[in-house]
């Protein structure tokens, strides 16, 4: 048998989801055991299942480990300043209402430095899908206390244990007027992908909290083992309570985690309210803003 | 290209500088503004909020100046011409996003109706004390452009120019008004749309895949795209390469930051906009800008009547500073007199460029009102002696 007969062309196997990533930016910066990549994977699966038009999707991130999500996605993506992803996204969305604008950022970025923007975007019902990767810590800067760090957890700037109460993020989003509020962990990959689909389909201010391990900083400092140990914790201590009262879903240090879809309601978006208001005020003189006219 | 007739209120008006500035922005094509109330600038956005629904655009009052200054950048990447409007304390809050706009080369106009500072200072009274802040206020090296109108008419005319320069150079452009110019009511003639030249965004003709977001043209300015057009751009405030991707190394830093500075510096000769009065035979030159130029002009005329060979150089574009012109004058004049509503800001530029070749005299004023003509006249007479 000649050697030529052995030459067969093998099909190039490629993960069908690769096209959603900027492959020239891989490898990513995330640590082994980090959950951000899992959350990103669930997001991409949601996009794929929805056959989402990627040219009409824009992803905006702030600063931090989760802030790097925008840079890996092969869509129009914006890595903004610390805490300001939401107001940038607000301008982007109002600038081109045809875009679906998703904010992907971390708990410190969205709720400490960016907290004011979050509550006002929710109050306005700005048509944004805000995804918060909550790892209870500032990962990029080395594990400082965050507004989400549970009482008692140790962080570099709370070296004797955290004595500040943490935000209950679903309650905050709910009370400010978010029309969709859900929480899952990166253990719940299927539910997470479904929640991403729901958030992408929802009109108005949608909020998804994703609990994610930070083995390098949060887990290590609190002697909680590695990423797998945190996934086991998520698995064992998570309780699904769809429609739960958001006042009752507070997280505690290694305590029970209430997950599920808590809020799903309708309210006019900022832009719809503006258009409706001006149409009433000005009548036919007013041309609705950002509404495509079928010529 | 010409102004969109829909936004242009052609005709004669009797309005203040804040309102005229708003009309200039609308004429220039601005259809998105975000702002937060702050005296003495608020009238600009109040008018914008009243006017824009029927012009076709959006105004949003954000929760603070930090949000306003980045909401406009988001809208700029959606393809809009954008502005935000503020005064001292608000400008201080916007500094990080001025740097972000410079780093991401986002065309935008920041209107600063200056008031007395520091801190809350004099909310209802004038100053020109933000001149260095707009040049150097955000961290790192970058270039900006700043214009300084001295009348409501110029608030209209120069605002159009400010927007045009933002598109041409893709950098933050500052519109440096002050409380007096902002609240002074005068005749404002708004031309016909076809007489108003507006610069469109420099959108690329290249196709996705052939386009690199930060590949500069000959004038060091890259072509732009907008979100939603299929280019799949990545925009970051991190140091980035020509694709727009983060590049954490000294070579990428040098290449990018040098260009951000050089695209203004190398084009500075195209960015000279001054008004010259009696410079031909001048032995003394008054250098002024904004509201102070009106008092300086009166002092120059009085000194001329008294037989002093004095001229007046008024900076319309303040940044980049017209170095070549001032250096040239320094070869032949005896002294420069620099009145300004601060305790000595632009006078430092004059001193730097004159480099000891002539006397440079500051006429400082802490703000709260404008100079007296006599204060400037006295210094002219003193140095002419």
Q: Of the candidates A74, A95, A282, which has its C-beta nearest B78's C-beta?
A: A95
**Among B84, B234, B238, B241, which would you mutate to test the A interface (most chain A Cβ atoms within 10 Å of its Cβ)?**
B234
Half-sphere exposure of A46 (CA within 13 A, CB side): 21
**Contacts B76 to A, Cβ<8 Å:** 91, 95
Q: Residues A93-102: pLDDT tens digits?
A: 999 999 999 9
- Ranges assigned E (strand) in chain A: 57-61, 76-79, 100-106, 129-134, 137-138, 144-145, 180-185, 206-211, 238-240, 257-264
**Contacts B6 to A, Cβ<8 Å:** none
pTM of the model: 0.97
Mean pLDDT of A79-107: 98
Per-position pLDDT tens, chain B of length 385? 999 999 999 999 999 999 999 999 999 999 999 999 999 999 999 999 999 999 999 999 999 999 999 999 999 999 999 999 999 999 999 999 999 999 999 999 999 999 999 999 999 999 999 999 999 999 999 999 999 999 999 999 999 999 999 999 999 999 999 999 999 999 999 999 999 999 999 999 999 999 999 999 999 999 999 999 999 999 999 999 999 999 999 999 999 999 999 999 999 999 999 999 999 999 999 999 999 999 999 999 999 999 999 999 999 999 999 999 999 999 999 999 999 999 999 999 999 999 999 999 999 999 999 999 999 999 999 999 9
H or E element at residue A198: helix A189-201
* HEC secondary structure over chain B: CECCHHHCCCEEEEEEHHHHHHHHHHHHCEEEEEECCCCCCHHHHHHHHHHHHHHCCEEEECCCHHHHHHHHHHHHHCCCEEEEEECHHHHHHHHHHHHHHHHHCCCEEEEEEEEECCCCCEEEEECCCCHHHHHHCCCCCCCCEEECCCCHHHHHHHHHHHHHHHHHHCCEEEEEEEHHHHHCEEEEEECCHHHCECCCCCECCCCCCCCCCCCECCCCCECECCCCCCCCCEEECCCECCCCCECCCHHHHHHHHHHHHHHHHCCHHHHCCEEEECCCCCCEEEEEECCHHHHHHHHHHHHHHCCCCEEEEEECEEECCCHHHHHHHHCCCCEEEEEECCCCCHHHHHHHHHCCCCEEEEEECCCCCCCCHHHHHHHHHHHHC
Q: What is the DSSP string of A90-111?
A: HHHHHH-TTSEEEEEEEHHIII
A291: confidence class by pLDDT, cuts 50, 70, 90: confident
C-beta atoms of B63 and A99 within 8 A: no
Q: Residues A208-259: pLDDT tens digits?
A: 999 999 999 999 999 999 999 999 999 999 999 999 999 999 999 999 999 9
**Contacts A117 to B, Cβ<8 Å:** 63, 67
Q: Which CATH number fits domain B274-384: 3.40.50.920, 3.40.47.10, 3.40.50.150, 3.10.20.30?
A: 3.40.50.920
The full set of domain ranges for chain B reads 5-195, 274-384
**Contacts B226 to A, Cβ<8 Å:** 96
Mean pLDDT of A128-135: 98
Q: Residues A45-62: pLDDT tens digits?
A: 999 999 999 999 999 999
Query: How high is the pLDDT of residue A295?
Result: 46
C-beta atoms of A92 and B75 within 8 A: yes
Taking the CA of residue B217 and the nearest CA in chain A, the distance in Å comes to 22
C-beta atoms of A92 and B77 within 8 A: yes
Query: How high is the pLDDT of residue A7?
Result: 75
Half-sphere exposure of B375 (CA within 13 A, CB side): 16
Distance CA(B157)–CA(A21), nearest Å, equals: 46
**Among B7, B34, B35, B67, which would you mutate to test the A interface (most chain A Cβ atoms within 10 Å of its Cβ)?**
B67
C-beta atoms of B227 and A92 within 8 A: yes
Domains B5-195 and B274-384 share a fold: yes
Positive or negative: CA dihedral A33, A37, A43, A46: negative
- The hierarchical CATH code for the domain B5-195 is 3.40.50.970
Average pLDDT over chain A reads 95
Superfamily for domain range A32-284: Thiamin diphosphate (ThDP)-binding fold, Pyr/PP domains (3.40.50.970)
Query: How high is the pLDDT of residue A9?
Result: 77
A192: confidence class by pLDDT, cuts 50, 70, 90: very high
Query: How high is the pLDDT of residue B310?
Result: 98
Query: How high is the pLDDT of residue A12?
Result: 76
Q: Is the ipTM of this complex over 0.85?
A: yes
Distance CA(A251)–CA(B76), nearest Å, equals: 39
The full set of domain ranges for chain A reads 32-284
């Amino acid at each position: 048998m000649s050697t030529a007969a052995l030459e067969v062309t093998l099909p190039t196997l490629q993960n069908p989801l690769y096209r959603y990533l900027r492959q020239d930016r891989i490898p990513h910066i995330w640590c082994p055991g980090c959950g951000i990549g899992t959350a990103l994977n669930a997001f991409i699966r949601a996009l794929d299942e929805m056959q989402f038009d990627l040219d009409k999707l824009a992803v905006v991130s702030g600063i931090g480990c989760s802030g790097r999500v925008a840079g890996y996605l092969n869509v129009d993506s914006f890595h903004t300043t610390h805490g300001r992803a939401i107001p940038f996204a607000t301008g982007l969305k109002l600038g081109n209402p045809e875009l679906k604008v998703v904010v992907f950022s971390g708990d410190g970025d969205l709720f400490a430095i960016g907290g004011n923007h979050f509550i006002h975007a929710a109050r306005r019902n700005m048509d944004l899908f805000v995804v918060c990767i909550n790892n209870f810590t500032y990962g990029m800067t080395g594990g400082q206390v965050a507004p989400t760090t549970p009482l008692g957890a140790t962080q570099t700037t709370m070296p004797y244990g955290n004595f500040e109460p943490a935000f209950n993020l679903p309650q905050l989003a709910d009370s400010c007027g978010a029309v969709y509020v859900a929480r899952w962990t990166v253990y719940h990959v299927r539910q997470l992908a479904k929640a991403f689909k729901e958030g992408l389909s929802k009109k108005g201010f949608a909020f998804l909290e994703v609990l994610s391990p930070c083995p390098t900083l949060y887990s290590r400092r609190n002697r909680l083992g590695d990423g797998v140990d945190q996934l086991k914790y998520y698995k064992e201590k998570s309780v699904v309570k769809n429609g739960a009262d958001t006042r009752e879903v507070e997280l505690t240090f290694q305590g029970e985690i209430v997950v599920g879809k808590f809020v799903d309601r309708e309210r006019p978006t900022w832009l719809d309210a503006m258009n409706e208001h001006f149409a009433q005020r000005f009548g036919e003189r007013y041309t609705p803003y950002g509404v495509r006219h079928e010529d | 290209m010409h102004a969109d007739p829909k936004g242009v209120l052609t005709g004669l008006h009797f309005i203040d500088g804040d309102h005229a500035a708003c009309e200039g922005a609308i004429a220039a094509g601005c259809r998105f503004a975000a702002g937060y109330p702050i005296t003495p600038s608020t009238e600009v956005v109040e008018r914008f909020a009243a006017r824009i629904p029927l012009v076709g655009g959006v105004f949003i009052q954000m929760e603070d100046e930090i949000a306003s200054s980045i909401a406009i950048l988001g809208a700029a990447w959606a393809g809009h011409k954008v502005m935000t409007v503020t005064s001292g304390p608000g400008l201080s809050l916007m500094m990080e996003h001025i740097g972000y706009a410079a780093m991401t080369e986002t065309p935008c106009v920041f209107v600063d109706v200056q008031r007395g500072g520091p801190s809350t200072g004099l909310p209802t009274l004038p100053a020109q004390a933000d001149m260095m802040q707009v040049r150097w206020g955000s961290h790192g090296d970058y270039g900006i452009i700043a214009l300084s109108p001295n009348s409501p008419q110029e608030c209209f005319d120069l605002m159009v120019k400010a927007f045009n320069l933002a598109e041409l150079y893709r950098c933050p452009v500052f519109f440096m008004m002050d409380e007096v110019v902002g609240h002074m009511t005068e005749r404002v003639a708004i031309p016909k749309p076809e007489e108003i030249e507006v610069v469109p965004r420099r959108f690329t003709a290249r196709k996705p895949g052939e386009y690199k977001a930060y590949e500069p043209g000959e004038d060091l300015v890259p072509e732009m795209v907008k979100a939603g057009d299929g280019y799949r751009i990545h925009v970051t405030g991190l140091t980035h390469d020509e694709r727009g991707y983060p590049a954490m190394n000294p070579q990428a830093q040098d290449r990018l930051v040098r260009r951000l500075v050089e695209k203004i510096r190398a084009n500075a000769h195209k960015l000279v906009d001054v008004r010259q009065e009696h410079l031909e035979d001048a032995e003394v030159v008054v250098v002024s800008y904004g509201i102070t130029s009106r008092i300086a002009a009166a002092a120059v005329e009085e000194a001329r009547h008294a037989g002093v060979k004095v001229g007046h150089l008024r900076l319309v574009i303040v940044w980049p500073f017209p170095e070549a012109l001032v250096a040239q004058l320094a070869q032949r004049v005896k002294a420069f007199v620099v009145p300004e509503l601060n305790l000595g800001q632009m006078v430092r530029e004059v001193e730097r460029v004159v480099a000891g070749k002539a006397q440079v005299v500051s006429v400082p004023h802490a703000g709260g009102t404008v100079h007296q003509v006599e204060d400037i006249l006295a210094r002219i007479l003193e140095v002419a002696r």
